[in-house]
Structures are given as C-alpha cells and as structure tokens.
C-alpha cells in the first residue's frame, strides 16, 4: 500500500434506482493534501464524497459497486463498523447546520455520542476544536449562547469545529462556502489550508478560483464520469482534455 494515499477509489459505480450517477470512477486521494472536486451541477460530486463516509446508504433504493479503501481497508466490508468510519471521515455541508443548542454543546456533541463522560476532557477538547477551527477568539466569552445566534460564517466554522472534535482523519466539505460572503469565504479557505497539516481534505466547490487557490489536486467530473484528475496547476493551465479546458474557461456549466 502506498503510504501517501488515504482513500483509494476503485472501479466505483453508483445508482439511484436504475439511474447511474457515477460510472467506473477510480482515483486516489492523497494524505494531507487538499483535493477539489469540480464539475457542472448534477455531475455526481456530492454522491462521490458521500460514498467516502457511507452516507449514501441512508438513501433507499441505491446501489454501489466497486471498492473504497481508507488506509488500505475496504470501508464497505462487512467487518467494518460504520459509526467508526463516520468518526474517521467527518463532513461539513453547504448550508451550516449547527444544532439548536449552545456553542459548547454543538462541539461536545460528537464526544457525548461516542460515550465520553469525562467533563475536563470534554472542556479541553471543545476549546481545542474551536481553536483549530479558528473561531475560539470570537466565541470564548459566549460558549453557552445558542449557536443559531452566530453569523453564517461563524456557524460554518463551528460546524468544522464540531467535525474536528471527534478526531477524524479526513474532512469532506461539500461546497462549504457557497452560502457565505467573501470575507467568511476567505477565512474558511485560510482555515482549510492550515488544516491540511493534520487532515486530508476533500472539498467540492462550484468556485473554480477557490479550487485554484487552495487545492493541491483537482478532479473534474461530468455526468458521473471522472474526466480528468491531476495537480491543480495542471488542470487549470494545461488540461489534457478539451472538455476540461472548455469547463474551466467557462464555456459551459
């Protein structure tokens, strides 16, 4: 096994009923790198990343074929504990979705779900996660206020803190900035760049400048096919396929 690879996708097909959403996708996601997934709406970006933490199986009448390995282990094997997979692979969504609870309880939530009761440990972990998500200074004096009172950008960083609290290895982000203003977007981008030291990050984005700014690798999808996957710089300056070039230069999509 190549030690630089965190997630290995091999010959993956995915269906919603009879409708195919991904065809024959194979790609390796590298450890401690940021991988951007781009492509027109409906091309299968969200479907792909939801396969990485076994979220699609919550949708009835769906089927996956192929293999997805995390650190060399097939996450779809019958021996695997799904709860543990979802702990190892955290997810942040397009629309910030804090629980209607205090800021503190939002971050402590995953720890409590995992059965942790030690109050001191929880307090320290909440503080550390909020610091890692670059929001501690803004909330340290209001930890017990309702999280819904935060701005959109703060809520998204809180959701990142909540994901980090359970010590995942991979962070999946599905268009995490699309509901945010430019200032909050910049903060999230800086945060993501900092987080890659410790985590492997897969980010779906509609914003090609964002992919170009932060991603080490970029994968371009169209209608469920992985068209091209390479170093970001190569995708944006010298793509090897004509359709990739047409997409990144804004000719469609």
Which positions lie near ligand ADP, rule CB under 6 A?
Answer: 16, 21, 39, 41-47, 59
To ligand ADP, the closest distance from the beta carbon of 235 in angstroms equals 17
To Mg ion, the closest distance from the beta carbon of 82 in angstroms equals 22
Nearest-10 Cα torsion for 195, 197, 199, 202? 70
Residue closer to Mg ion by CB (options 74, 94) is: 94
Distances in Å between the alpha carbon of 102 and those of 89, 95, 129, 138, 145? 24, 18, 15, 14, 5
Residue closer to ligand ADP by CB (options 103, 203) is: 203
The conformational region for residue 80 under phi > 0 = left, psi -120 to 50 = alpha, else beta, is beta
Residue 83 interacting entry, from Mg ion, ligand ADP, none, C-beta within 5 to 8 Å by type: none
Please, what sign has the CA dihedral across residues 194, 202, 37, 50? negative
| DSSP conformational letter for 187 | H
Residue 59 interacting entry, from ligand ADP, Mg ion, none, C-beta within 5 to 8 Å by type: ligand ADP
Residue 130 interacting entry, from ligand ADP, Mg ion, none, C-beta within 5 to 8 Å by type: none
Residue closer to Mg ion by CB (options 46, 210) is: 46
Interface contacts to Mg ion, rule CB under 5 A: 46
Place of tokens 């804004």: 250
Residue 61 interacting entry, from Mg ion, ligand ADP, none, C-beta within 5 to 8 Å by type: none
Distance, CA of 49 to CA of 169 (rounded, Å): 14
Residue closer to ligand ADP by CB (options 36, 108) is: 36
Distance, CA of 194 to CA of 189 (rounded, Å): 9
């Amino acid at each position: 096994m190549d030690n630089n690879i965190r997630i290995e996708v091999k010959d993956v097909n995915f269906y919603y009923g009879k409708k195919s959403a991904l065809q024959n996708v194979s790609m390796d996601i590298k450890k401690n790198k940021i991988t951007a997934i781009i492509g027109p709406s409906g091309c299968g970006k969200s479907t792909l990343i939801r396969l990485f933490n076994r979220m699609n199986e919550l949708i009835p009448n769906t089927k996956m074929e192929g293999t997805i390995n995390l650190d060399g282990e097939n996450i779809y094997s019958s021996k695997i504990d799904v709860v543990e997979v979802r702990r190892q692979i955290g997810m942040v969504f397009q629309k910030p979705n804090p629980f209607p609870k205090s800021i503190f309880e939002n971050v402590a939530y995953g720890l409590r779900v995992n059965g942790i009761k030690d109050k001191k440990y929880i307090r320290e972990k909440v503080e550390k996660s909020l610091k890692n998500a670059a929001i501690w200074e803004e909330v340290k004096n209001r930890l017990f206020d309702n999280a819904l009172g935060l701005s959109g950008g703060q809520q998204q960083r809180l959701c990142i803190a909540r994901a980090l609290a359970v010590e995942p290895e991979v962070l999946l982000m599905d268009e995490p900035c699309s509901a945010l203003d430019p200032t909050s977007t910049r903060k999230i981008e800086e945060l993501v760049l900092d987080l890659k030291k410790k985590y492997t990050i897969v980010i779906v984005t509609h914003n090609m400048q964002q992919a170009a700014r932060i991603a080490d690798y970029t994968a371009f999808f169209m209608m469920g096919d992985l068209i091209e996957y390479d170093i970001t710089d190569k995708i944006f300056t010298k793509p090897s396929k004509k359709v990739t070039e047409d997409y990144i230069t804004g000719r469609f999509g």
